[in-house]
Amino acid sequence: MHQHVHAELVGGPEDGRSFVLPAVEADMPVDRFTLPAPRESAAPCARYALSDRRADGVWRYRYAGEQPLATS
């Protein structure tokens, strides 16, 4: 059992970025997550959802839209 999986982002502002994610269950990554805006600005956060797994074992996440920044 692996504690981490390799992931790649497809589409959106982070297209092509790859990294390692913690596995929540045996070899299974989280099903979705939100990345903060690249800089401190009014830009929305990017949401990504689990899509599929490549033949080499890398999990792909597809861009799932934007999430506005929370304002207080």
DSSP of 4-40, one letter per residue?
EEEEEEESSTTTT-EEEEEEEETTEE-SEEEEPPSSS
Under 8 Å between Cβ of 19 and 5: no
- pLDDT for 35: 84
Reported as a single tens digit per residue, the pLDDT across 23-63 is 877 778 889 988 876 666 666 789 999 999 999 999 999 99
* Residue 51 CA, distance from chain mean position: 10
Give the Cα separation of 21 and 15 in Å (integer).
16
- pLDDT for 2: 61
- pLDDT for 40: 63
- Which pTM does this prediction carry? 0.80
